[in-house]
Amino acid sequence: MSYRERIFKISKEEYNKFKNITLSELKSKYNVDYYEFYYDILNKTELHEFGNNLINTNIREIKFLTNDELHNLINNDNRLIKLSKNQLKSIIDNMIEEIKKSKSNLKNWSDDLISENEKNRNLAIRMIQNHINREFTEWYNILSINFDDNDILLDSWMLNYDVFNLIYIYKTVDWNNDIIGLYGS
C-alpha cells in the first residue's frame, strides 16, 4: 500500500495521557516502539482517509507530541500532527479550489469538442473519456459508503467526495472536547 493520510479524533482526556510521553516511557510502559504508537497505543477514531489525495502541505504543523525525540522519530518517515479548526477549514478550502480547477478544465475540454482544430478535439475527447472512466471506476469499484462500521462517512479517492466528508467532520466534531489529528504513513 502506498502512503496514505488520515484524519482522526481523540478525546482531550485521552490525548493528555500521551502528549508528553517519551520514547523510553513508550517502550517501558507499553512495550512498543515509536512506529507502533499510532496503530497500537492511541485510542483514536479514524474519521477520514485521503486515499491518493495528499492534503495541503503548506499548513503550519502543530506537534501532536511535545517530546522532540519521539515527535521527530515518528515524523521522519510518517506524519503525525494536530489540526486546528482553521487548518481543517483551510484544507477544505484548498480542496474546493482544486475541484473548481478540475471542473473548469472539464468545461474547457467540452468547449474544445466543437473546435475546428482536430488535435484539440481529439485531446478533449480523451480527457472527457478519462473523466467518465474515473467516475465510473469510483462508483463501481472503489466508493464504499459506511453505514455501520465506523465514523468514516464514505471511502473515496475523489476530491469531490472527500470535501463533503471533511465538511461533515468540521461541522460535527466537538472542538471543545476532542483533538483532531492527521497521520500519514
Per residue in 84-139, pLDDT tens?
999 999 888 988 888 888 777 777 776 666 667 777 777 777 777 777 777 777 66
From CA 185, how far away is CA 179, in angstroms rounded? 19
137 occurs within a structural domain:
no
Residue 166 within any structural domain of the chain: yes
How many domains does the structure of the chain reveal? 1
Residue 139 lies in a domain: no
Q: Strand, coil or helix: what is 24?
A: helix
Return d(Cα 30, Cα 35) in angstroms, integer. Answer: 13
Q: Which residues have CB under 8 Å from 82's CB, separation 6+?
A: 62, 63, 64, 179, 180, 181, 182
Indicate whether 84 belongs to any domain.
Answer: yes
Q: Which residue is associated with the grid cell 507502533?
A: 36
Q: What is the mean pLDDT of residues 172-185?
A: 93
pTM check: above 0.85: no
Is 34 domain-assigned? yes
The reply to whether 151 falls in a domain is yes
Q: Look at residue 113 and tell me if it is in a domain.
A: no
| DSSP assignments along 93-147, one per residue | HHHHHHHHHHHHHHHHHHHHTT-S-HHHHHHHHHHHHHHHHHHHHIIIII-EE-S
Q: Considering the domain boundaries, does residue 117 fall inside one? A: no
Question: Which residue segment(s) compose the domain that 87 sits in?
Answer: 5-104+145-184
Tell me the three cell numbers of residue 102. 478540475
